[in-house]
Amino acid sequence: MHKLRSLSVANLAKVFCRLSTRLKSTGGRPSAPLGSRILTNPDDIFKHNMWDHVQWTEEDKENARQKARENSCVQIPLKEQGKFDTEAYQYWDTFYETHQDKFFKDRKWLFLEFPELLPSDTKKQATAARHHGDQRVETPPPSGSSADSETRHHQHSGATICHRHTSDCQRTCQGASLEKNEDATQTFTFPGQHASFRILEVGCGVGNSVFPIVNSIKQTDAFLYCCDFSPRAIQLVKDHPDYDDSVCHAFVHDICEEMASFPFPPRSMDVILAVFVLSSIHPERMQGVVNRLSTYLKCGGTFLFRDYGRYDFSQLRFKKGQCLSENFYTRGDGTCVYFFTKEEVHDLFSNAGLEEIQNLEDRRLQVNRGKKVAMHRVWMQSKHRKPYPPSPS
């Protein structure tokens, strides 16, 4: 089994050679600025739990494709698949009943990868802090630990982005799109109505993104909304000692439910965050979910996305009989997971009318130093912006 999951010495040497060539061609720096732990000597592989910007050999790619073909050749019968969709909230509610808030770690990497989550003044402070000391993002737990099955929490490298999001632009956008109507935020009373910067996290779970954000936006004019379709998860968020309803509103909501409404109007969010959420949704529902969520973004607002990439280690370790459809699997506890490609991510958000700011594939080498096993991890990260309406002619 370890042979299927680990990299051979020969493959490690090939990875080392390719990475060395790449580093030389880029002046010693990877193309993405974040994640700077680079394996430059294969003898050092077990000195750390994670290595960044790892290049795959053609042999690595073919082995991954073959493993995925093998574990998806036997699919769960169609008549048995429906429950994983219709009863999804029950599986997750049971998951949170079992694990409470002990399964995932807080995502302290959030603001390094997604500075868009911070209001402008706070963002400047975070950018300055990034240049002091070791600011590496947190890494996943070693293979075999309970949290490894998600990295359903996680970490990674980013890329330089362009970000256009100013209050003047917001006012211009809102004036153009709502000139025949009242400002959407004034049509009814809702939590956070008077905030100048609003964030929505969908699929918030027990708050592993919520509380890093809440603790960073206190004393600012920002407000966070967070939802999950598991009532138990939302109750755990509300019971957390850091929960503060003056800056946060947690509520139960199923983003797959077409007729379900949010407790705020359309075009009222500056940022929407979806971290390891869309992968748990049936592929046929994803586009509708992104389309509906996008209607709640202001013009110039940003949709932040982080999820599993195609041929991640967690995909390759599935057994035969756990596959629902191509690249879509169910775990032993009934929760589901899909594995994305860059092209799929691009299409998903572009089809919702959003402009691509960033779309990257984060490849890392995760190491179990105790068992001397190295595993390829793949995550997708993207940022998409809601465009401004055309200027009146």
Say which residue the tokens 């750390």 belong to.
48
Query: For the chain, how many helices (H) and strands (E)?
Result: 13, 11
pLDDT band at 182 (very low <50, low <70, confident <90, very high): very low
Q: Outline where DSSP puts E strands in the chain.
A: 50-51, 197-202, 222-228, 248-252, 269-275, 297-308, 323-325, 328-330, 336-338, 355-368, 373-385
| Tens-place pLDDT, residues 291-316 | 999 999 999 999 999 999 999 999 99
Q: Are strands 269-275 and 197-202 parallel, antiparallel or unpaired?
A: parallel
Cα–Cα distance for residue pair 323/104, rounded to 1 Å? 24
| Tens-place pLDDT, residues 95-135 | 666 665 655 556 778 998 999 999 876 555 544 444 443 33
CATH number among 3.40.50.460, 3.40.50.150, 3.40.50.10860, 3.40.640.10, domain 2-385: 3.40.50.150
Instruction: Give the tokens for residue 318.
Output: 């599935």
Cα–Cα distance for residue pair 50/39, rounded to 1 Å? 9
pLDDT band at 198 (very low <50, low <70, confident <90, very high): very high
Please, what sign has the CA dihedral across residues 95, 202, 294, 314? negative
Among 150-164, 358-372, 373-387, the minimum mean pLDDT is found in: 150-164
Contact 293, 255 (CB under 8 A): yes
pLDDT score of 382: 96
Task: List residues bridging with 191 in a β-sheet.
Answer: none
What is the value of pTM for the model shown?
0.77
Cα–Cα distance for residue pair 60/56, rounded to 1 Å? 6
Cα–Cα distance for residue pair 33/244, rounded to 1 Å? 34
Cα–Cα distance for residue pair 374/315, rounded to 1 Å? 15
